[in-house]
Structure formats: structure tokens, C-alpha cells
Amino acid sequence: MATQGQFLQRQLQSECLYLTSALELRDGLAIIWATKLIGIVVPTLGMRQEMLIQCLTSIKAAGPAFVTVVGPHEFIDQELTTLSRYVGLFDSAVSDPREGLAAAINKGIRAFPDEIELVTWLGDDDLLHEGALGVLASKLSANPGASAVFGRCDFVDSQGKVFGRSRFGRFAVALLKFGPDFIPQPASLFRRKHFNHVGGLDTSLKLAFDL
């Protein structure tokens, strides 16, 4: 997973779980997520289409999810919904409100079907590890009081080669009250009702989504 920053309007008040390894629960998942209870927003300008396809393909490998692409209406109408290479890679498309990235993500999450319980977003240049969504969802299922869960996050170059990894772990949660956010957003998953409770993402933030 490549990384972006995650900023909510206020710090989530419930417990935030840290998964020491994205693989630690893979052999013993508490729940098989056979239905799409997870929603993922993929905001894009439609200018990096090969990366977008890789991103959407990685979500398919990460586990069942309802995927909403948010982008310029021209891209949605003329390419995303008409080109065969995108068939089967997303479930819905929403036009970008052109009010910044936070507003685009909030709009995508609001557009999810009511049954979606867990949410996150992924930049069009980010990737998910195979099976990652099932691991994260199972951790939340086993901890009903938690608002969010996150794990480690690999930093990769344009060739897909890993050159670093986020290692703040549980310290990232403790550091939130001092200001810095070291929680790797692409490696995270939130309960939708808690995301909505704090008002979603702060739309006054314009440049806070890439660490």
C-alpha cells in the first residue's frame, strides 16, 4: 500500500486498533466477508489511467468491496463508463464536486448504499495488498468498540519496488493528540457511522492527504 494522510474533523473518540502485520490474521479470519459491507472511494482526475486500473485491480484482490469512483464528469461519461478495460472494476461513479479532495471523498462515501458499514478511500496511485480488506474488517468485527483499524503500509516506487515501510504502529495513535498524523490512511478502515458522526473529512484541508 502506498500512503496518504488521514484527517478527520476531530480525533475519533473510540478505540483505534493497530494491526502489527497485514498478514497476521490471514490464516484465521473471524468472518468471511462474502457480501460487500465495505465501501471504498477512489478519487481521480482521470489523468493516470494505467495507475487507476492497477489501483482498482488491487482492490478486487484485497477482498469484497463496493467501489465508487469520484472524478470529473467528462472522464466518467466519456471513458470510465464506456471503455471495456474498466468493466467489472467498480460499482458506481460520482461526479467530482470540484471543491477539493476532502469534499470529493465525502461525496463518494455519502453515495454508498445504506448497507455499507465500513469505509475508506484509496488514491488512484495507491494499491492494496491481497486479502488486506478481509484482515482489517475481521479485526473490527472482533472489536466492536473500535472506530478504526490500521496496519503497516509499504512505500513503493513507480516500478512497484518497496523502498520503505511505516513503522509507527501504536505510537501513531498516541501522537495524534500532539498534532502529527502517522496513521497510514490506505492501510486503514473506518466504521461508517463513526466517520459520519465526526462530520467526515474536514473540507478546509487541501494539501493534507499525502504524507
Those residues whose C-beta lies under 8 Å from the C-beta of residue 119, and which sit 6 or more positions away, are 38, 39, 40, 41, 109, 112, 189, 190, 191, 192, 195
Instruction: Please state the rounded mean pLDDT for residues 175-196.
Output: 82
Instruction: Please state the rounded mean pLDDT for residues 3-7.
Output: 34
- Distance (Å) of CA 155 to CA 53, 85, 115, 173, 186: 19, 27, 32, 20, 11
pLDDT band per the 50, 70, 90 thresholds, residue 208: low
Amino acid sitting at position 128: L
Residue 138 or residue 2, greater confidence? 138
Separation between Cα atoms, residue 28 and residue 147, nearest integer Å:
22
Q: Which of 39-48, 141-150, 168-177, 181-190 has the lowest mean pLDDT?
A: 168-177
pLDDT digits (tens, 9 = 90+) for 98-133: 888 999 999 999 999 999 999 999 999 889 989 899
Looking at residue 3, its pLDDT comes to 33
The answer to whether residue 187 scores a pLDDT higher than 90 is: no
Report the percentage of the chain scoring pLDDT > 90.
Answer: 40
Looking at residue 12, its pLDDT comes to 38
Report the percentage of the chain scoring pLDDT > 70.
Answer: 77
Residue 3 or residue 73, greater confidence? 73
pTM of the model: 0.80
pLDDT digits (tens, 9 = 90+) for 6-47: 333 333 333 445 443 333 333 333 333 444 589 999 999 988
- Distance (Å) of CA 84 to CA 17, 65, 66, 114: 39, 20, 19, 28
* DSSP state, residue 177: G
